Structure 1
Amino acid sequence: MGLAISVGIETFAIDEEGYAYRRAEMDRLSAVLAKEGVTWRQPDDPVWRGPEGTPPFMRSHVGSFPYGYLRYLHRVVALVRSGGAVTPVSSQEELARDNDLVVEEAILLSSHLLCHSDYDGYFVPVDFDDPIFLFDEAGGGGARGGGAEVIGSSHGLLAELRRCAPAIGIRLEEDGSLSDAEAARVFELPQSAPFEIESVVWLTLHEACRASIATDCAIIFH
């Protein structure tokens, strides 16, 4: 089992019943966000109708990976936010130890990535400062230890990714964008690279944010 990350509704991956469920989820999400003062609705189009019909603006990336991979990028984000030195993970014990810092940063309730569920939920292409916590909703996207549904901002997530990129050796342009050449280099990193796992997750999330903002579609963890 692993985490898949998609943008919009991919009809090739689900049957008619699955599409109806996802469309209803998007409408529910729009309604609950409206109660929080956030205006957004998943577009009826574009809808991605085939494996080759992936959202535009998405360069080569890994569409899914083991759930545990997220922990590596969580660690990087937490270290950058706290001003700590970012070094490659040398052992599972080190990863587990640094999880205490991840929790400390998450309970500040300001990180769109750290507060979000590791296995389901949504980021929407609306620029709001802090993640939105919906304590009265029964949908997906549980908070880290909080039991709420957490909705992140694609813009906020992208800002966090840009902030931590230099720490794992990803070179951004002066305007914060990722060049095609650098995206290709990161995608082709060998498994022996010091931050290979972190870079896999980073690139997937970055490309999802890019497509989400360009198409006004939600990022979906599933």
Structure 2
Amino acid sequence: MRGMGLALSVGENDHFSEDLAALSGALAAVGVEWREPARSAGPSASAGFPYGYLHHLRRAYVLHLYDRPVPPAGGTAREQLDRDAELVRDETTMLSSHLLCHSDCAGFYVPVDFAEPLFLDEQAVAGGGMVGSAQRLLAELVACAPAIGIAVAADGTVGPEQDAIPADDPYEVEKFTWYGLYRACRASIATGHALVFC
């Protein structure tokens, strides 16, 4: 059984109402209009995984971005993982990736398409003030999907049959994380609700 660390939530955010109101105000201050809608009948999403899983997916994304082979994290030597982590840190400093430039344990993605991650008032907005676009996060997920063995259709969708990940799949960790974020992004974009890291 997976120990839980990071939880994702879309459309079930009533207990974050004050935080979401503060987020809306901080976004408006930089010209981004968004407000958490009332609970809708649309799709909701929730997922959870250990914090380390997110780092493994970030590693896969960066290796793919640099056109390098993406060996599964579970079968890679510690020395190589450390070198890959340095590459991830270097790419994160470019401040352009919505997957990379976000807190590991708190914060928000909103369903508004803006080019680069936003860095808002860290006292007012959870997650150190870093806010991502659900649309851009989804695009980054789709871009790196083939590198971890996920087939994405031309319209950006995946078949439900792919979501059943065999326990012996070498990319089980990366895929489990990918699908959780993918479903959350799709639900956020469909309903207008924020994707909440908590």
Shift of 1:194: 1.3
Q: What TM-score results when the alignment is normalised by the length of structure 1? A: 0.81
1:2 is aligned to: 5
Q: For this pair of structures, how many residues does the alignment match?
A: 193
State how 1:1-222 maps to structure 2 within 5 Å: 2-10=5-13, 19=15, 22-46=16-40, 56=43, 63-89=47-73, 90-135=76-121, 137-142=123-128, 149-181=129-161, 185=162, 187-222=163-198
Moved more, 90-99 or 207-216: 90-99
- Spell out structure 1 runs of 4+ moving beyond 6 A: none
Counterparts of 1:6 and 1:81, CA distance in 2 = 27
Cα offsets for 1:133-189 (capped at 9, x unmatched)? 1145343212xxxxxx100000000000000000011001122222233xxx2x321
Relative to 1, partners in 2 of residues 1:207 and 1:67: Cα closer, same or farther, differing over 3 Å?
same
Deviation at 1:57, TM superposition (A): 6.9
What are the ranges of 5 or more consecutive residues in structure 2 without an aligned counterpart? none
Which protein, 1 or 2, shows the higher relative CO under an 8 Å CA cutoff with sep ≥ 6? 2
- Structure 1 residue runs of 5 or longer lacking an equivalent are 12-18, 48-54, 143-148
Q: CA deviation at 1:96?
A: 2.4
Worse overlay, 204-213 or 82-91: 82-91
CA RMSD of aligned residues (A): 1.8
Between the aligned residues of both structures, percent identity stands at 46
CA contact (8 A) 2:11 2:43 kept: no
Name the aligned partner's letter for residue 203 of structure 1: Y
The alpha carbon displacement at 1:97 in A equals 2.2
Whether the 8 Å contact between 1:8 and 1:42 is mirrored in structure 2 is: no
Letter in 1 for 2:108: Y
Alpha-carbon distance in 2 for matches of 1:74, 1:9: 26
CA distance in 2, matches of 1:30, 1:110: 22
1:63 offset after TM fit, Å?
1.4
